[in-house]
Structure formats: C-alpha cells, structure tokens
Chain A
Amino acid sequence: MPDLSVNIAGLNFRNPVTTASGTFGYGDEFRDFIDLGRLGGIFVKAVTGKNRDGNAYPRMAETSTGMLNSVGLQNKGVDHFCREIYPRIKDFNTHIIVNVSGSTVEEYVEVAERINELENIPAIELNISCPNVKLGGMAFGTIPAMATEVTAEVRKVYKKVLMVKLSPNVTSITDLAKAVADGGADVITLINTLLGMAIDIERRRPVLSTITGGLSGPAIKPVALRMVWQVHKAVHIPIIGLGGIMNATDAIEFMLAGASAIQVGTANFIDPTVSVKIVDGIEAYMERHKIKAVTDLIGALRTE
C-alpha cells in the first residue's frame, strides 16, 4: 500500500486531500455522502469577528466550466462558532481547520486568538483574499506590506499552524507569497477565486447583486496551477494548492507543480463524494507508477 500521508509544518495529514473553505460547510453536511475520516482535513467556512449577513441575492452565476459567487463571508461570528459549531464538529476524525476572515487587522487578530483556544483546531487559514467584501479583505491580499503586517500580527497571538490563503488577483503572486512568509506564515494556500463578472443581456443588468464576484471551478485551474508552480520556486514553505480541482488527475498536477496538499472546492457541489474519489485516484496512480510515498510527487515536475 502506498503511503499517502503528508506532514505539513509539523501537522500530519493522513492524505493530501482536503476540502476548501466555503464549499464544504462545517463538514457535517457531507456526512450523508462520505466518511469524513477518509479526508486529510476540512477547511470550514470563513469565521469573522461579528455576525455577517453577506451580500444580497443573487449571489451566483454559472459560467462555462465554473461559477461566480458573491456570498460575502456570511457567518454568525466567532462567538457563535466557538459556542455552537465547534462542539458539534470537534470530534470529527480529520483535521478541522478554520478559515479566518476580517476587515481590519484587529478583527483578524481577535478571531485568531479565540480560535487558538480551541483544542481540536490544529491550524487556521487566514483568508486575506476574499473578493466579496467591500472593506479590507482583498486589500490585505494585494498589497505586500499589508499582507506582511496582518500575518505578523496574527502570528504574535496564534501559536499553532498558521496558513495564509492568497488571492490570485495580483500582478505578482510571488511578491505576496514572500510577503506572508516574511510575516511568519507556516503554509501558503492558493488560490482563492478570480475576480469576474456576468451580464444578463435580456435585462441589461449584472447577474450578481454585487456586479462582480469570485470565479471558481475548472475555468481557473490553469491560472491556479501556474501560481502554485511560481510560488513553489520562490518560497520554501509548504503550499496547499487549489483552484478547479475536479478529479485525481487535477490533484496530482497540483502536487507535481509543488503543492504538498490540495483542496477540493466547487467540485463538491457537483459530486459531494468527489473528495474521497480523489483520494482513491491518487492511490491508484501511485500504484500504477510504483510510487511509495505521496511526498515524492511534491514539486516533482520534470522541466529539463
């Protein structure tokens, strides 16, 4: 049996397949479909300081091989997460990682501090890249100095594994990757959604209430793959790669480009069992190529 386990910044994952924030709820919604214990980990929906209602409907537009969303961080705030949600999910047989969002440095720090106290949450993923909030959010993810600052401030209070999720809506992804590495990030996640838009020509109106929104799904995969490759060459901390992964082939591509683990996002909507199929598919690939450890795939792209 090939060894699928990966160690990322000291945290051991049973396999490199995890699920992306905002596409997997809090995990329990998937218990009818799959055994969560077969996943490397689950990244739960963004948590902010206070309750957020998110943006108005319509929040979704289908595109060719993808979708736009403008959910806008709807969640009930960190208090509610700690009180109501954490007890319900803390004993899942997989790593539960919280996606931390905010509009100010103080908000990120406050949420990170609260999550730090939760025993069964081994890591957080700072979302400095959400395109769907007016204030902050993406600004932290597009200006390197701000990215360093928010990472460094959270680093001061957060004692466990600190992951930072980058936005692809920048000219130079490596500048941002270096910036968060300088701020003390243990892991880089990329990519979040690409800013896009859709128009209803009959009504001559934008489809989304927010006019623009975040593009996800196979449509963004080539961009995501390129960014993982560039960042892998530029920084020396582990990368979790995502963007349009629909099957094991896609997942393996991300690992070859340099990702130590991957996240499955939008694909969960189309097939809620796909994450487990990807685990099986990676294992089958390893058997076929006589690869003993999945870690041998990380950055193993041949370019010469």
Chain B
Amino acid sequence: MELKKHVQDLLVIEVTRLNKRHFLLDLRAPEKFPLILPGQFVQVLVQGSASTFLRRPFSIHSVDYSRNTLRLLVQIKGEGTRHLAELKTGDHLNLIYPLGNSFSLPFTKDVLLVGGGCGVAPLLFLAQFLNQNNIRPTILLGFRTKEEVSEIETYSRFGNVHVITDDGTEGEKGLVIDHSMFQRERLDFKKIYCCGPDAMMKAVAKIARMHRIECEVSLENTMACGFGVCLCCITPTDKGNERVCMEGPVFNINRLTW
C-alpha cells in the first residue's frame, strides 16, 4: 500500500530523557495524521548542526491519533542525535513521513517480538497494532544494562514482557538469543518480528529458520533520501537489490540473502 508522504514542521510537545543514552520525543502534527503503519519511519531534519548534513531516520515508536502526536525513541549516537536531545518543548522539527513499508499482520496469535538496543523502537507501535487485532504478543527486550531498561510498563500493557541485559543486572544475562526461551527444543511461536543490530537480527533469523518460524526483520541501512530516489540504502533480496527505505525497512527473512 502506498501512503501519501508529507514534509511538515511538527511541534515538539515533550522531550523525555530515559537514561544517559536514550530519550523520547513527542511531536504534534499541524493537521490530522494520515494512516501510519507499524514499522514505518520518519526522516528528521537536524537544524543548526554544522556536521549533520543529511536527515536522520527514526522508526515511529508510537502514534496517538486522538492527540495527533507521534513518539520517537532516540539513542544518542553522534552529532545529529546529540543535537536532537537538546530540543525543547515548543521547538519545531521538520519531518518527512510516513516512510517505508510495514510489518505484516500475522495469521496466528502466537507471536514473539524481539528487540535490542534502539531496535526496540518500532516494536511498541507494532505491539499496539497487534493488540488492536486481538493479539497479545510475547515481547523480548534486550538492553545493555539495568540503567537502560525502560518503558517496561508501557510494553506490558500490550504483551508479556521478558528482559535480558548484557551484564545480567536486570532480567536474564546475555544477548537476546541467549534467553532461556530459545534454549527449549520447541518454540511455541508461529511468527517472530525482530529489530536491532544486524548481528542480532541474523542470529534471531537463524533460530527462526531452525524452528521453521516465519520471521520479519526491520533493517537500518544508512540512508541519504529515505524516499526511494538515491538508491543508497539497498539490500540484496530475491528480486535483486531492493531499497530498504521503500521495499523495506521490513523484510521477511526468506527474501533476504542471509
């Protein structure tokens, strides 16, 4: 489905610091939102930062149609995200949205969401969407350490949440694929949605293949435009090189070469 894309100034409603490296950005649109799907992303113009030339892509963390707001979950990586962390209520932020395809609705209720690092961002919106379709997913979230574990209550409204941290300071210890749910002979899921660093998604894809579970991943290739014209963000698929910003960011692992 092709949705009309907008270039718009959105009003910064609130900036909420979650921990040293992460914050939430609540933004309000001047007019009623178009339909936005889970897995889609926005391209943010970072103004006033000399070294940030291109826009920065971020997944849509959640959408509140009644308040006409959307929320981004941002991890501070470099200049651009550091600049965004300085935004104040009342500032404006220019966005191109909604971009990309979306996660597909599953034909099963046995659903697992796996997220690591800032890869958790699109999973909240997906969990909301699944709830609206009477599915309560299992949600496995990986964090570096206890200090970074956040929004667990929010996720818990939509699914059964499990936490794992690299250092074991909260929940189980290890990487997401080390979680005990994966150590069983049989997994009770028929669909896995996964988002995070490439290495993590590849590892989860391997588990999904082994258990013949359908699996969708959301890629985060570096982008110049974000709306399909520069061909910088490609990934090899069964149909040749496809654009992560248009044919993706969500791909069924069967279509990827990994």
Query: Whole-angstrom distance between the alpha carbons of A63 and B79 in the complex?
Result: 13
- Quick one: given A32-B4, A57-B235, are A66 and B230 in contact (CB under 8 Å)? no
Q: Which of A59, A63, A64, A268 contacts B231 (CB 8 A)?
A: A59
Task: Verify if A296 is at the interface (C-beta below 8 Å from B).
Answer: no
Closest to A24 in B: B229
Query: Whole-angstrom distance between the alpha carbons of A230 and B238 in the complex?
Result: 48
Judging by beta carbons under 8 Å apart, are B231 and A74 in contact?
yes
Residues of B within 8 A of A (CB): 4-7, 45, 50-51, 53-55, 96, 221-235, 240-241
Q: Can you list 9 A-B contacts (CB < 8 A)?
A: A25-B228, A33-B7, A53-B241, A57-B233, A57-B235, A59-B232, A66-B53, A67-B54, A269-B224
Task: Verify if A1 is at the interface (C-beta below 8 Å from B).
Answer: no
Chain A residues with CB below 8 A from B223, complex form: 60
- Quick one: given A32-B5, A60-B224, A270-B45, are A25 and B53 in contact (CB under 8 Å)? no
Task: Verify if A263 is at the interface (C-beta below 8 Å from B).
Answer: no
Chain B residues with CB below 8 A from A32, complex form: 4-6
Task: Verify if A273 is at the interface (C-beta below 8 Å from B).
Answer: yes
Task: Verify if A29 is at the interface (C-beta below 8 Å from B).
Answer: yes
Judging by beta carbons under 8 Å apart, are B222 and A63 in contact?
no
A contact residues, total (Cβ < 8 Å): 33
| 0 or 1 for each of A12-37: is its CB under 8 Å from B? (1 = yes) | 00000000001111000110110000
Task: Verify if A99 is at the interface (C-beta below 8 Å from B).
Answer: no
| 0 or 1 for each of A50-94: is its CB under 8 Å from B? (1 = yes) | 000110011110111111010100100000000000000000000
Task: Verify if A144 is at the interface (C-beta below 8 Å from B).
Answer: no
- Quick one: given A53-B240, A270-B53, are A29 and B7 in contact (CB under 8 Å)? no
Nearest 4 A/B pairs, CB to CB: A25-B229, A60-B232, A269-B225, A32-B5
Shortest beta-carbon distance from B154 to chain A in Å: 32
Chain B residues with CB below 8 A from A271, complex form: 7, 45
Chain B residues with CB below 8 A from A69, complex form: 224, 230, 232
Judging by beta carbons under 8 Å apart, are A272 and B240 in contact?
no
A residues 233-254 in Cβ contact with B at 8 Å: none
Judging by beta carbons under 8 Å apart, are A273 and B54 in contact?
no
Task: Verify if A217 is at the interface (C-beta below 8 Å from B).
Answer: yes
Judging by beta carbons under 8 Å apart, are B227 and A67 in contact?
no
* Chain A CB within 10 Å, residue with most, of B6, B51, B229, B241: B229
Chain A residues with CB below 8 A from B224, complex form: 60, 67, 69, 266, 269
- Quick one: given A65-B53, A269-B55, are A59 and B234 in contact (CB under 8 Å)? yes
Judging by beta carbons under 8 Å apart, are B7 and A22 in contact?
no
Closest to A65 in B: B53
Query: Whole-angstrom distance between the alpha carbons of A188 and B226 in the complex?
Result: 30
Shortest beta-carbon distance from A171 to chain B in Å: 29
Chain A residues with CB below 8 A from B229, complex form: 23-25, 29-30, 45, 268-269
- Quick one: given A29-B227, A53-B241, are A269 and B7 in contact (CB under 8 Å)? no
- Quick one: given A58-B222, A273-B7, are A217 and B241 in contact (CB under 8 Å)? no
* Chain A CB within 10 Å, residue with most, of B50, B223, B232: B232
| 0 or 1 for each of A208-245: is its CB under 8 Å from B? (1 = yes) | 00000000011000000000000000000000000000
Chain A residues with CB below 8 A from B96, complex form: 272
Query: Whole-angstrom distance between the alpha carbons of A304 and B223 in the complex?
Result: 45
Closest to B246 in A: A29
